[in-house]
């Protein structure tokens, strides 16, 4: 099929006479604001635009060369001019600031400009231009003949190939975009009027406007009485004067307000509506800009994925394509197959547990050695620990992953509890952890006291000895907590599995290990930090020798027991939650436990939420490490689960 219209023929058709950039937006009679002022003064508009700009700017732009359909190589500054330019766009601007301004300009004006400039050394650099001061010129309907940058001292002309131009859609002009601010003008004007009304009310001393009614039969005022009352009322309306400004109404007068009642005006709802409309105009999920009316733990997680796929995805694709079209041809020697893309990998990764499980499944076997894991947990290497262990159930042609397990034959007696031999009930396992942590804490504290010298001890020597041993101490405590937490998590899991999924379909105890290791590391660090705080307080007092002895005893007893109970409750709760999720349960119920539970936990007794939601105290489960310490320390509560809504 032949082309029936030449490009030259289209060049002769001039664009419609539309303004390339509206100078001002009308907010009220006689009140006009340009886009930059709107950004500075309209909080909802600024919120959504800065949200987009900051989230895209932090991603970073990477440069690659496509080697084949299945292989690519990332290029560094030494390998590619484009990579060097994206890594350092100019001597005075960082990549973050360049992209931040780019996205903000597109969000505000729907058009943005980079100027291609030469540095003193002759290198190509990029300089962002203020979008409001650049105008496309010429009658070409496809591309401008040139661009004009206006300033205080005159104008500067740019040829089309001297700029990188980013713009959106305009219904009447192919060369520019159409700002979303125009579509939001009515909403922003309403917000402006509401804000101005509130300002006037507070300037009036926070008093509503109204009228004074004087009965028809009231006696006539003398000029002096009228002037006195008028001055008294004026003082009241202007802020009360020096006497507090309480008005006295005479002769049966009444005051009737004529302003809009703030509750009727729904100020809070109107501001929220403005933010919702602004977010909708830029296709941003509402929880991302602080509107949490219908937000839950699960849907916020999904909307985070949606943010980088549906909301920011089109922006990222547009920016990279324009760079490839308008910037790459100016770089000689790049060769073929070079392209850029934003670094989404870190943002799209799952949790540590999800990454570990996916890596194990993808490789078909274990993907880390024992010594690598021990090093991460501050433990020394062991002989033979540098070899990958391949479980017997993972062979070529066998099961696909070490997370898979062969079918198990269970008797009815087995289905009552799948706990491995040697693991006791929760109370026994918790008490064992408390006893072991107490004994370990006492040994560690005694070692520090001996190292500093029991008789000749001095506060600086003691603190120095404690700080020197804090690293090994943390590792030892973490190792103990991780070992016991794995047992406690299985106890919690089988409390759920025994009732809802006796065959443990879809559940594996090993999948809990990465999470439990991280939790143990956090608990160990907190336990050592508690000991540090006790010692620092002790040596600061006058009777520090006696205070040190008391601090050491407290850390090895009460503090150790409290940490053990908290860690045990969290491990049990996590194990039960993991088993409930694998078993397809959808709801969880809080049950308050302990002889003297805190008031907030009494209020939660019987509270029921969806599986991925949080309870009223901000915790996902009793002992949740993400919750406040005042809600998790020494907690004895537990959860039950079911499928019914």
Q: What pLDDT, on the 0 to 100 scale, is given for residue 261?
A: 55
Mean pLDDT rounded to a whole number for the chain: 79
Domain identity same for 77 and 191? yes
Q: Please write the tens of the pLDDT for every residue from 196-231.
A: 766 665 565 555 567 778 887 778 888 888 888 887
- Between residues 20 and 339, which one has the greater pLDDT? 339
Look at 122-136, 159-173, 546-560, 562-576 and tell me which has the smallest mean pLDDT.
546-560
Q: Please write the tens of the pLDDT for every residue from 93-141.
A: 999 999 999 999 999 999 999 999 988 887 889 999 999 899 999 888 8
Q: What pLDDT, on the 0 to 100 scale, is given for residue 167?
A: 93
- Provide the b/e sequence for 133-159 (b: ≥16 CB within 10 Å): ebbbeeebeeebeebebeeeeeeeebe
Domain identity same for 370 and 320? no
**Alpha helix positions (H), 397-556:** 426-452, 459-500, 513-540, 544-554
Q: Return the residue matching tokens 């991302």.
A: 288
Residues 6 or more apart in contact with residue 528 via CB below 8 angstroms: 470, 473, 474, 477
Q: Is residue 135 within 8 Å of 23, Cβ to Cβ?
A: no
Domain identity same for 447 and 532? yes
Domain identity same for 320 and 445? no
**What is the strand order of the sheet 71-75 is part of?**
71-75, 61-68, 338-342
If you average pLDDT over residues 639-644, what whole number do you get? 84
Domain identity same for 126 and 270? yes
- Cβ neighbours of 237 (radius 10 Å): 14
If you average pLDDT over residues 490-497, what whole number do you get? 91
β-partners of residue 255 are 212
If you average pLDDT over residues 67-74, what whole number do you get? 81
Residue from 308, 317, 331, 333 nearest 61 by CA: 317
If you average pLDDT over residues 71-85, what whole number do you get? 88
Number of domains in the chain: 3
Domain identity same for 330 and 390? no
Domain identity same for 323 and 385? no
Q: What pLDDT, on the 0 to 100 scale, is given for residue 113?
A: 95
Q: Is-above-0.75 flag for pTM?
A: no
Domain identity same for 375 and 465? no
Q: Which domain holds residue 74?
A: 1-197+263-349
Quick check: 364 pLDDT over 50? yes
Asked whether residue 509 is assigned to any structural domain, the reply reads yes
Q: How far is CA 611 from CA 295, 348, 588, 638, 645, in A?
A: 14, 23, 6, 14, 11
Domain identity same for 298 and 163? yes
Domain identity same for 322 and 428? no
Domain identity same for 546 and 470? yes
Q: Is residue 269 within 8 Å of 283, Cβ to Cβ?
A: no
CA angle, 496 as apex, 494 and 501 as ends, to 5°? 90
- Cβ neighbours of 163 (radius 10 Å): 20
If you average pLDDT over residues 20-43, what whole number do you get? 72
- Provide the b/e sequence for 458-489 (b: ≥16 CB within 10 Å): ebeebbebbeebbeebbbbbbbbbbebbbbbb
Q: What pLDDT, on the 0 to 100 scale, is given for residue 514?
A: 87
Quick check: 625 pLDDT over 60? yes
Q: Which of 583, 601, 633 is the last residue of a domain?
A: 583
Q: Please write the tens of the pLDDT for every residue from 503-526.
A: 888 888 888 888 888 888 888 888
C-alpha to C-alpha distance for 469 and 460, rounded to whole angstroms = 14
Phi/psi region, residue 60 (left: phi>0; alpha: psi -120 to 50; beta: rest), is left
C-alpha to C-alpha distance for 583 and 502, rounded to whole angstroms = 10
Domain identity same for 433 and 299? no
Q: Rg of the chain over CA atoms, in angstroms?
A: 35
Residue from 136, 151, 160 nearest 21 by CA: 136
Q: Please write the tens of the pLDDT for every residue from 229-257.
A: 887 777 776 654 444 456 777 777 877 77
Look at 18-27, 160-169, 276-285, 552-561 and tell me which has the smallest mean pLDDT.
18-27
State the DSSP H helix or E strand holding residue 580, giving kind and residue range, or none if neither: helix 560-582
- Cβ neighbours of 184 (radius 10 Å): 23
HSE-CB for 443 with a 13 A CA cutoff: 10
Asked whether residue 543 is assigned to any structural domain, the reply reads yes
Q: Is residue 352 within 8 Å of 515, Cβ to Cβ?
A: yes
CA 14, distance to chain mean position in Å, is 48
For the chain, give me the number of helices (H) and strands (E)?
Answer: 22, 16
Q: Is residue 452 within 8 Å of 475, Cβ to Cβ?
A: no
């Amino acid at each position: 099929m032949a082309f029936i219209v030449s490009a030259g023929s289209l060049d002769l058709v001039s664009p419609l006479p539309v303004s390339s950039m509206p100078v001002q937006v009308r907010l009220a009679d006689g009140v006009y604001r340009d886009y930059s002022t709107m950004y500075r003064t309209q909080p909802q508009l600024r919120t959504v635009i800065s949200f987009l700009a900051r989230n895209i700017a932090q991603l970073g732009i990477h440069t690659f060369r496509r080697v084949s359909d299945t292989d690519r190589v990332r290029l560094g500054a030494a390998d590619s001019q484009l990579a060097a330019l994206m890594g350092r766009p100019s001597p005075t601007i960082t990549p973050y600031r360049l992209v931040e301004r780019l996205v903000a300009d597109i969000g505000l004006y729907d058009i943005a400009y980079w100027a291609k400039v030469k540095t003193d050394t002759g290198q190509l650099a990029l300089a962002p231009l203020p979008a409001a001061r650049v105008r496309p010129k010429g009658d070409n309907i496809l591309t401008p003949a040139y661009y004009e940058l206006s300033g205080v001292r005159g104008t500067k002309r740019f040829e089309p190939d001297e700029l990188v131009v980013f713009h959106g859609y305009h219904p009447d002009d192919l060369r520019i975009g159409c700002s979303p601010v125009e579509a939001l003008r009515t909403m922003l004007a309403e917000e402006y009027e509401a804000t101005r009304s509130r300002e006037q009310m507070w300037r009036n001393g926070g008093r509503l406007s109204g009228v004074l009614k004087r009965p028809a039969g009231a006696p006539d005022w003398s000029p002096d009485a009228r002037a006195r009352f008028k001055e008294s009322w004026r003082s009241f309306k202007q802020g009360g004067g020096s006497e507090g400004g309480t008005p006295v109404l005479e002769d049966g007068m009444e005051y009737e307000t004529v302003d809009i009642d703030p509750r009727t005006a729904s100020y809070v709802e109107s501001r929220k509506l403005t933010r919702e409309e602004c977010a909708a105009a830029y296709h941003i999920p509402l929880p991302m800009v602080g509107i949490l009316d219908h937000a839950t733990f699960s849907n916020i997680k999904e909307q985070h994925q949606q943010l980088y796929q549906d909301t920011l995805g089109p922006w990222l694709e547009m920016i990279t394509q324009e760079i490839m079209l308008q910037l790459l041809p100016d770089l000689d020697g790049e060769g073929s197959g070079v392209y850029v893309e934003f670094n989404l990998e870190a943002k799209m990764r799952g949790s540590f547990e999800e990454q570990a499980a996916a890596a194990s499944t993808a490789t078909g076997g274990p993907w880390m050695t024992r010594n690598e894991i021990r090093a991460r947990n501050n433990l020394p290497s062991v002989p033979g620990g540098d070899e990958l262990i391949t479980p017997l159930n993972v062979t070529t042609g066998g099961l696909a992953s070490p997370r898979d397990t062969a079918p198990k034959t269970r008797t009815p007696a087995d289905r009552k509890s799948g706990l491995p031999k040697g693991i006791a009930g929760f109370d026994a396992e918790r008490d064992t952890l408390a006893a072991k942590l107490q004994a370990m804490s006492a040994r560690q504290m005694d070692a520090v006291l001996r190292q500093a010298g029991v008789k000749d001890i001095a506060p600086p020597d003691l603190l120095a000895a404690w700080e020197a041993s804090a690293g090994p101490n943390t590792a030892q405590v973490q190792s103990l907590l991780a070992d016991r937490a794995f047992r406690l998590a299985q106890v919690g899991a089988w409390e759920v599995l025994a009732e809802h999924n006796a065959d443990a379909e879809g559940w594996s105890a090993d999948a809990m290990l990465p999470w439990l290791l991280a939790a143990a590391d956090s608990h160990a660090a907190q336990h050592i930090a508690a000991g540090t705080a006790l010692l620092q307080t002790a040596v600061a007092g006058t009777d520090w020798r006696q205070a040190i002895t008391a601090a050491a005893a407290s850390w090895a007893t009460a503090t150790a027991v409290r940490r053990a109970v908290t860690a045990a409750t969290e491990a049990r709760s996590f194990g039960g939650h993991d088993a409930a999720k694998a078993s397809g349960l959808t709801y969880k119920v809080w049950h308050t436990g302990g002889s003297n539970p805190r008031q907030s936990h009494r209020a939660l007794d019987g509270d029921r939420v969806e599986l991925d939601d949080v309870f009223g105290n901000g915790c996902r489960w009793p002992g949740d490490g993400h919750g406040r310490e005042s809600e998790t320390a020494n907690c004895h509560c537990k959860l039950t689960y079911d499928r019914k809504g």
